[in-house]
Amino acid sequence: MSTGAPASIAAAAPRTPLAVGAVLGAAENVVMAATLAAMALLPLAEIVLRATLGVGISGAASFTQHLTLLCGMVGAAIAAREGRLLSLSTLNAFLKGRAVTAARLFTGTVAVLVGTLLSVASLEFVLAERAGGNSIAYGIPVWIGQAALPAGFALITLRLAYALADCRSGRIAALALAALVAAAALGRMPLGDTAFLAAMSALLVAALLGSPVFTTLGGAALLLFWHHGLPMASIPLDHYRLVVNPSLPMIPLFTLAGYFLAEGGAPGRLVRVFNALFGGMRGGAAIATVAACAFFTSFSGASGVTIIALGGMLMPLLSSAGYSQRGALGLLTGAGSLGGLLPPGLPLVLYGIVAKISIEEMFLAGILPGLLMVALIAAWGIRLAPVSSGERRRFDWLEARSALAAAKWELLLPVVAFAALFGGFATPVEAAALTAVYAFVVEVLVYRDLKLTRDVARVMAECGLLVGGVLLILGVALGFTNYLVDAQIPERTVEWVTGAIDSRWMFLIALNVFLLAAGCVLDIYSATVLLVPLIVPLGIAFGIDPIHLGIIFLTNMELGYLTPPVGMNLFFAAYRFGKPLPEVFRAALPAVGVLAVGVALVTFLPWLATGLPQLLAR
């Protein structure tokens, strides 16, 4: 829109905060795109150089790991900019009028306080590491890569403070209070019992009112360390160690491949393939829905992305096949949670990292349980299908062949990933990088659904937003978990449980009840970092294979996508289809029961999880 001012005057005018924010946002998107591109191309160059010249790039793995740290912090800043940091509670949705403003001011202030303390603790950590003089490679100091932590936390904190724009005095008060708290922490002022309990209570109330998950977990860790006189710099140290884990770059790289698929024309082509193959039979629309959702979620790592990307095509498909609105809504919501157990599902990667288990073994372990869950939801979808509906048609070989030919490059994506991973010529991170580059080439250069200059940076920024939000939670959650480990909570838990339960089967039943409850209040990523270090020693004490235990854990967390109050698929389905949350939950309730049957089968038939890893290990 033109204001009528001459161009020279407009150019010379001082930038408004809105304009500065737009420039900063554009810069963040560019940095994110460049970071993800470097993360994909560096391992790919390693594969090529090793295959052709027998040499590699010095420090390539370390560079990729530190790029993951940068990706996580920039992505979290983008999530804060867009107001999309993950929160657990929906209580604020029931508030009205001034209560909404008060709740927003309170949760925003708590978030600013926690962000400030994390910024200060990260700065202390980086300054200490700078004195160590370590380098990544080629003389580049490690502390330069680590500097992404304080810079990222500071930017996130400023974003959270700016979000209080409708209450300027509240914003100023929050920043002033944050400065006082930071000064107290830097001055090593003791945090007494009364102050500790009051601060923990405020943190809990903020969590119930909808503060971001990272502020709840990070704030709890900070308060525990401060109260016991421990250095708070240990929290960013744990964050750093987790994010630069050698296997963690797989998460953003496989997610990037999924986002290229979701944002390109792949959804339409793949829905056409599955509908052509299965649409002619009774319940064929349900089978096509389940297959398409599982395929997408296995790569994107986010069932919400699947519901958003495919919902607009699959809902009409189910409706035209005669499914009721409630049945179609429940089927789509339930199917969106599938795929996390199928390789290269990101939950499998994260569990392998936290439990210190081979990721290749976790990929193999997830295949049969993942297919079981897909089959159960598909069977439920077939049962929902009308006996006499307009979906019955003769199988059309020409349409099936045409659909397969149109989607052949995308259907080859799992082949590329698995061939690289199990073919012996690429590490898991290199296989993930090859998959991401392949997806880019297919969607940008082969199909040309995405424009290089217009779409790619946007897609990468959206991918980075998801990855950054997840890694932010994982990093601060590890600090909390390590406090529990230092306090010997896992050992005490093992002693108590083994003293109270003497049967392996009773333990498995109790474990499932506990995990189902945990899945109702924790997202799958924070639950993995918080709970896995506690349950793995328990499983070992009862003679349960850690791989089997991991699949039990992940199937319960998959079920958690459909259980209130934090079942993320419920929120995404409500948003995508414009339905109230209670209606979505009622529609998805049968899917909860179906998946619960799958959880029971996986729990009491261990070979479903351990069979393939043991078979291929021989």
3-state helix, strand, coil in the chain (%, to 5): 75, 0, 25
Q: What is the 3-state secondary structure (H, E, C) of 253-322?
A: HHHHHHHHHHHCCHHHHHHHHHHHHHCCCCCHHHHHHHHHHHHHHHHHCCHHHHHHHHHHHHHHHHHHCC
Q: Token digits for 87?
A: 């929160």
CA distances from 289 to 38, 63, 322, 372, 400 (A): 35, 40, 14, 16, 16
- Summarised one tens digit per residue, pLDDT across range 298-320 is 877 666 678 877 888 888 888 88
For residues 233 and 116, the answer to whether their CB atoms sit within 8 Å is no
d(CA 481, CA 234): 12
Q: What is the model's pLDDT at position 91?
A: 56
Those residues of the chain that have pLDDT short of 70 are 1-21, 88-95, 165-168, 170-171, 301-304, 388-393, 565-566, 618
Q: What is the model's pLDDT at position 230?
A: 87
Location of structure tokens 């000064």: 183
d(CA 202, CA 208): 10
How many alpha carbons lie under 13 Å from residue 52 in its C-beta half-sphere?
A: 6
d(CA 31, CA 44): 20
Q: What is the model's pLDDT at position 98?
A: 75
Q: What is the model's pLDDT at position 211?
A: 87
Q: What is the model's pLDDT at position 240?
A: 93
CB atoms within 10 A of CB 245: 17
- Give strand pairing partners of 212: 87
Q: What is the model's pLDDT at position 170?
A: 67
Q: What is the model's pLDDT at position 558?
A: 87
Q: What is the pTM of this model?
A: 0.86
Q: What is the model's pLDDT at position 88?
A: 67
d(CA 333, CA 52): 47
Q: What is the model's pLDDT at position 8?
A: 32
| 122: CB partners within 8 A, 6+ apart | 149, 150, 153, 233, 236, 239
Tell me which DSSP letter residue 94 carries: G
CA distances from 363 to 78, 419, 450 (A): 31, 13, 30
Q: What is the model's pLDDT at position 51?
A: 83
Q: How buried is residue 161: exposed, middle or buried, by Cβ count under 10 Å (0-12/13-18/19+)?
A: buried
